[in-house]
Amino acid sequence: MKKYTYTEKKDTRSGFGAGLYEAGQRNPNVVALCADLVGSLKMEAFIKDFPDRFVQVGIAEANMIGIAAGLTIGGKIPFTGTFANFSTGRVYDQIRQSVAYSNKNVKICASHAGLTLGEDGATHQILEDIGLMKMLPGMTVINTCDYNQTKAATLAIAEYEGPVYLRFGRPVVPIFTEADQKFEIGKAWMVNEGADVSIFATGHLVWEAIKAGEMLAEMGIDAEIINIHTIKPLDEAAVLASVAKTRCVVSAEEHNRIGGLGDSIAQLLMKHDPVPMEFVAVNDSFGESGKPDLLMKKYGLDDAHIVKAVQAVLQRK
C-alpha cells in the first residue's frame, strides 16, 4: 500500500475559496455570486480584490441561478456559491431550464454537502445532490476530496466551457494530494494500485479509503484505490481496466446509495463486465444532527465500513 501522509488539515471549501480567487486573478471574466453565505463559501478574498465582479443576491437562490445564466450571455464565467442543498434541490428547475438545457457556462459551487455538515441536521445535509445533478444532460459533476484537489478543480472548471456542479464540504480534513496538481476533468486518479479489489471513492471518502487500504494491507488484502472525482462524465476506461484486474468492486461516497457514484459504476459494469459490488453510502435515509465523524460512523461511511464492504465483496468473488 502506497503511503499517504499529511502535515495539515483544511476544509475543502477553503480550497474552493483559494481557487476562485486565483481564477479571478487569471481571468477578468470570472464573476462570483452568493446567497448570503460568503463566509461559509470562503469568498472573502475574491470579494475584497474584485468587488465589481461579485454579486450578493441575498437569500434568493432561484434568482441567483437565473442571474448567473444571464451573466454568461455577456461572456462572463459565473461561479454561484451556497450550501449544496440550496444549490441543487431548491433550484432544480432553474438549473434544468436556464443552465443545463440552455447550455450556459455556469459553475454551481456547493459547500456543506452531505452528512459532514454536522450539527445543523438533515434539512441542510443533502445526500441526493449528485443524483439530481448527474441526471441533467450536459452537466459535469465533480466531488473533491481535499483542499488541494478542490483548488485545482476550481481552476480547471473556470477554463472549461459548459455547466458544472462542483461539490465540496465543511469539515477540516487531511491534505494528502499534491499542492500544484493539474486537475483533469473526467480523469480518475490512481491512488493505489492493487490486485484483489477495486475501491472507487469520491469526496471525503477518499481519505477513508486510504485508511481502509492500510488496514486491508495488514490483513493481506491488496486493494486498488481509485479516486473518481468526476462522477460525470465517468472515467469508464479507468473503471473497466481496474475491474478487469480485480474482479470485484466497492464504491464509497458521502451520498445516498440511490443516484450516486455507486449507481453510475454499477450501470457501467452491468453493461460491460458484471462483477460483485458493494456500496458504501447512506442507505436511503435522511441524516441527523451530530458531530461529523460520529455521523459518518453511524451512517456507515468510514474506513471500518469500507473494510467490511471489501470483506463482503471478496466473499462473493
CB of 83 to another protein, least distance (A): 17
CB of 56 to another protein, least distance (A): 9
Residue 15 to residue 168: CA distance in whole angstroms: 9
Taking a C-beta distance cutoff of 8 angstroms, is the pair 171, 13 a contact?
Answer: no
Contact between 94 and another protein (CB under 8 A)? yes
Contact between 27 and another protein (CB under 8 A)? no
Contact between 102 and another protein (CB under 8 A)? yes
Task: Give the one residue of 30, 67, 84, 309 binding another protein; rule: CB under 8 A.
Answer: 67
CA 67, 68, 73, 78 torsion: positive or negative?
A: positive
Taking a C-beta distance cutoff of 8 angstroms, is the pair 48, 96 a contact?
Answer: no
Question: Under rule CB under 8 A, which residues in 159-198 are in contact with another protein?
Answer: none
Taking a C-beta distance cutoff of 8 angstroms, is the pair 296, 116 a contact?
Answer: yes
Task: Give the one residue of 2, 73, 244, 274 binding another protein; rule: CB under 8 A.
Answer: 73
CB of 185 to another protein, least distance (A): 22
Contact between 103 and another protein (CB under 8 A)? yes
**Closest Cα to residue 63, out of 95, 104, 105?**
95
CB of 39 to another protein, least distance (A): 20
Task: Give the one residue of 12, 82, 87, 98 binding another protein; rule: CB under 8 A.
Answer: 98
Residue 69 to residue 228: CA distance in whole angstroms: 28
Identify the three-state secondary structure at position 128. coil
Q: How many CB atoms lie under 10 A from the CB of residue 315?
A: 10
Contact residues: another protein, CB under 8 A = 31, 52-53, 55, 57-58, 60, 62-76, 78, 93-94, 96-98, 101-104
